[in-house]
Amino acid sequence: MAIRVDLDVMLARRKMKLNDLAEAVGITPQNLSILKTGKARAIRFSTLDAICRVLECTPGDILVHVPDGCAGLPYQ
């Protein structure tokens, strides 16, 4: 997948746990875990809007486009 999800980075910056974010956003921790681990195939705008509002960030802080073949590179 060419989109990397850096949700754990934002969670660490905001010192927030996954379960707390899930409760604040209104989705299950299992669903949020799917997003965090990069297994999600799609994300609704409403969910993205809620996450950005809670973490006080922009979509670009969470979603990073990675060219094919560079998915394993660390966050920069």
Partner 1 sequence: MTPAFHPEGRLRRIARVSAITRVLLALGALLAVTSWTAPMLVEARVLEFTIGPLRITWDIWSKWPSLHAALAEIGWSPSAFLVMPRVLVFLAVAIQVVQMFGLYQQGLIFTFRHVLYLHRIGLLLILWGVILLGFPALIRVLAGWFAEGYQGYWFSADWDALFYFVAGLGVTVMAWVMQEGLKLRHEQELTV
Contacts with partner 1 by CB under 8 A lie at: 27, 31-32, 34-35, 39-44, 47
Q: Provide the 8-state DSSP code for 73.
A: S
Give 9 or 47: the residue with its C-beta nearer to partner 1: 47
Give 13 or 39: the residue with its C-beta nearer to partner 1: 39
Q: What are phi and psi of 64, to 5 degrees?
A: -125, 130
Give 34 or 64: the residue with its C-beta nearer to partner 1: 34
Q: How many CA atoms lie within 13 A of 7 on its CB side?
A: 24
Q: How far is the CB of 42 from partner 1 (least distance, A)?
A: 4
